[in-house]
Amino acid sequence: MIRITDSHCHLDFPDFETELSEVVERAVAAGVHRMVTICTKLHQEPTVRAIAEAHDPVYYAAGVHPMSVAKELMTSVDELIALSQHPKFVGIGETGLDYHYTAESAEAQKQSLRIHIQAAQETGLPLIIHARDADEDMANILREGHTNKPYSCVMHCFSSSADLGKAALDLGFYLSMSGIAAFSKSGELRDIFAQAPVDRILVETDSPYLAPPPHRGKRNEPAYSMHTAKVGAEVFGMEFADFAAQTEANFERLFSKVTRQQAAA
């Protein structure tokens, strides 16, 4: 069976509450043998951690989503480092900038983003970035941090401009394909991905959102990342098995703690 990893999902959301085990089982049956579930509000970290502890294929990351910064206590580098000591904690975030919905909290978002960058630098774990309508500030802050001390990063659910994509790739970062890349009207986005090095591409669902065809408009779940991966193979002109193997290698390079944990298990 061809296997891939859903590098970004939200299994703690209420959409999955009544059938979480079945959702994980369907993913594994479809060939999605690993999932990274993302905590977006740190007071929910114990719940997200418990999901990862209860399901062998599930790992987790935690941070403060930019749209939540104004409503949450500002985190600290020390708090994120402490959380990162858990064996199944594999990434910092998601963090970032969102000026589409929450431009009024831009300064607090920038402060939070810089804290998360420092935590990624100190822990060696990859930063997970959400970016919407903030391309210039995002590129500048990512470059600023990387100049001070290099770190690794993935632009999750990438659907921003070609300029931000290039800025991220020039820093050695990764771009993640979500169901958006599979939408019929996303030709321009697919063209941006096609110009990227294939060894810097991940796949994800961002479930329960953004279900790819043929499930568009329905609740998304990790199993459906297979549909996005098949579109990714078409974008790069590759056989599906080869593209899947490449994204697996990319994931294991970026999220190296997962590989170490699996080897130790």
Please report the beta strands in 117-194, taking only residues with DSSP state E, as ranges in sequence order. Answer: 127-132, 153-155, 174-177
Q: What CATH code would you report for 4-264? A: 3.20.20.140
pLDDT in tens, the chain (265 residues): 899 999 999 999 999 999 999 999 999 999 999 999 999 999 999 999 999 999 999 999 999 999 999 999 999 999 999 999 999 999 999 999 999 999 999 999 999 999 999 999 999 999 999 999 999 999 999 999 999 999 999 999 999 999 999 999 999 999 999 999 999 999 999 999 999 999 999 999 999 999 999 999 999 999 999 999 999 999 999 999 999 999 999 999 999 999 988 888 7
Count of Cβ atoms closer than 10 Å to residue 248 Cβ: 18
- Tell me how far CA of residue 255 lies from CA of 174, 185, 199, 250, 262, in angstroms: 11, 31, 14, 8, 12
Bond into 214 cis (ω within 30)? yes
CB hemisphere CA count around 154 (13 angstroms): 31
Q: Where are the domains of the chain?
A: 4-264
Q: What is the pTM of this model?
A: 0.97
